[in-house]
Structure 1
């Protein structure tokens, strides 16, 4: 049997703060909160979740090599724009990583500068 993803680990300087941000963005509960590890996931028995661990002293200096692509409910008109505004209100910010302005996604960064995208509905990307 091949391996499966257990957690996606995110290095953080403020573990509870960043875990709380992603908990709110994704609507996932905080499943475990320890001094050196905070886990967020859809449920305790979910196949994977996000694990926030100490980043150490170094600060992020460049573009992420891995990022999340998020999408809103494709059946709710205007939901993408509403979700972008909600996420910005939670503490995200718009960032420029070289976009032209013609992209079908919007690049944002979480409170610690980790980029992620809010994309058009998946069904629009296939086919």
Structure 2
């Protein structure tokens, strides 16, 4: 039996706002703009996507799952994401690492990796 990875689900206080933020950050397209199931993908037919769904509870701890991104230019990408509304996050990564931990507007951590 084979499984196809359809999407990653992200709990959000404001699914449309957070989904829109990620769509702009990644250059992805919105395939479902519903405030109850706001879905973005790299292109309409390409998987996996990110699906943002509403939750009332605030985020209270470090993510158990996070996304890693490897840009061509780490410093430029970190600067772009910070200007877009991300913030630096400390999850105990220490000072001598090759990645940068950021958080989106709802404090979901993600990493911007260095070059290979």
TM-score bucket of the superposed structures, by smaller chain: over 0.9
SS in 2 for 1:2: coil
Distance in 2 separating the partners of 1:35 and 1:22? 15
- 1:77-121 Cα offsets, whole Å, 9 max, x none, are xx2111111101111000111121101101000000000000013
Distance 1:11 1:31, change over 3 A: same
Moved beyond 3 Å, runs of 4+: none
TM-score w.r.t. structure 2 length? 0.95
Name the counterpart of 1:110.
104
Name the counterpart of 2:22.
22
Number of aligned residue pairs: give it. Answer: 116
Cα displacement (A) at 1:59: 0.8
Distance in 2 separating the partners of 1:2 and 1:105? 33
TM-score w.r.t. structure 1 length? 0.87
Distance in 1 separating the partners of 2:34 and 2:24? 19
Distance in 1 separating the partners of 2:38 and 2:5? 17
SS in 1 for 2:64: coil
Distance in 2 separating the partners of 1:36 and 1:61? 22
Name the counterpart of 2:46.
46
Distance in 2 separating the partners of 1:69 and 1:15? 21
- 1:48-93 Cα offsets, whole Å, 9 max, x none, are 10000001x21111100100001112xxxxx211111110111100
